Amino acid sequence: MEYDELLKSGRIRKEKVSRPEVEQVLALAERDLQTARELIERDLDWSFAVAYDAVLQASRAYMFAQGFRPASSESHKNTLAFLRLAMGKGYEELMTYFDRMRNKRHRAIYETAGLITETEARNILEKAEGS
């Protein structure tokens, strides 16, 4: 099984997730996309962060639908690691991009105000809407 290493290391765990819960997480992703669109003209850092969160929520929904959950420690990193395996080599570039944006989001939220450029905010929103 392709997820064995993530399971063995405790980064993910098998868990049956109900369809309503998956749908609720997808609704969160859509809400976040809408919020990111609204924020882009007012606050690039937050628009970027919320667009990233939309990607994270959609990734979690997919993970849940497959019968897995990320470990609570480093859940963003573990969710993206799962998705990288699930999506396969054809999506390697996109998954690398989202992982870099995970790190950038952390810096923008916790370390440096004004870090995100308009181009970066628009790019992640575009990629979030298309993925």
Helix, strand, coil content of the chain in percent (nearest 5): 75, 5, 20
Domain that holds residue 63: 4-130
d(CA 111, CA 38): 23
Is 27 within 8 Å of 41 (Cβ atoms)?
A: no
Q: What is the pLDDT along the chain (131 residues), one digit of tens a residue?
A: 589 999 999 999 999 999 999 999 999 999 999 999 999 999 999 999 999 999 999 999 999 999 999 998 999 999 999 999 999 999 999 999 999 999 999 999 999 999 999 999 999 999 999 86
CATH of the domain at 97: 1.20.120.330
Is 68 within 8 Å of 3 (Cβ atoms)?
A: yes
Q: How many distinct structural domains can be found in the chain?
A: 1
